Chains A and B, each alone.
Chain A
Amino acid sequence: KAGVTQTPRYLIKTRGQQVTLSCSPISGHRSVSWYQQTPGQGLQFLFEYFSETQRNKGNFPGRFSGRQFSNSRSEMNVSTLELGDSALYLCASTQNPSSYNEQFFGPGTRLTVL
């Protein structure tokens, strides 16, 4: 079974631009969560999608948005990029949302904002 894939792996943007990141979950997994990781910080939850619906949202500004498609693939979008958005963005998938299901992570997208 193929793992979680994320594209692109690396991205360099300038302030004010927007960016779209993509995540393809493991086949059969319908829940996709997005996280931001910056140096010295734990994983910060962005949002979670299940069956094309946003189930949970973390404490991030409205510049961060996402969506999920009928094939469970998910995208996240960041508009009007700021320097502080430079981070590793990870997505994780699981079969169904549950406190008891482990999450399977992709390799991440490293975003640098100049």
Chain B
Amino acid sequence: ILNVEQSPQSLHVQEGDSTNFTCSFPSSNFYALHWYRWETAKSPEALFVMTLNGDEKKKGRISATLNTKEGYSYLYIKGSQPEDSATYLCAFPMDSNYQLIWGAGTKLIIKP
């Protein structure tokens, strides 16, 4: 059974501080790794789809890295702002049929 794990489960960060969290996934049969942000009362929204080992993607103050050999991805947020408060989800396609297996998410709360 494939499993995608995220840590920590929740995180309180002071506004202005930088933070990061982890997504672990099976390292065999890698296809892609997805990151989504889910703000309260909104729909999940894609941040990154990462495909290559060593890949690093950036969107504003948010960036992500990928290590397919050891099966993890880090999401970094630089200079956290209140609008970064959300649950961050990662998902892993279990096979070439594309069915995504989702982690339980990291809930990020930014303290003003």
Contact = CB atoms under 8 A, between A and B. Distances in A.
A42 B43 contact: no
Contact of B49 (A3, A58, A100, A108): A100
Contact of A106 (B43, B89, B93, B99): B43
B104 A41 contact: yes
Contact of A42 (B45, B49, B89, B98): B89
A43 B98 contact: no
A43 B103 CA distance: 8
Contacts of A40: 104
A42 B99 CA distance: 14
B104 A101 contact: no
A42 B104 contact: yes
Contacts of B91: 43
Contacts, number: 62
A45 B49 contact: no
B8 to A, nearest CB: 14
Contacts of B4: 42
Contact of A105 (B43, B49, B51, B99): B43
A102 B49 contact: yes
Given A41-B104, A90-B44, A100 B99 contact: no
B102 A99 contact: no
B55 to A, nearest CB: 12
Contacts of A33: 100
Given A43-B91, A99-B93, 17 more contacts: A42-B89, A42-B103, A42-B105, A43-B89, A48-B99, A56-B99, A97-B98, A98-B98, A99-B31, A99-B32, A101-B98, A103-B44, A103-B46, A103-B100, A104-B46, A105-B44, A107-B43
Interface of B: 4, 31-32, 34, 42-46, 49, 51, 89, 91, 93, 96-105
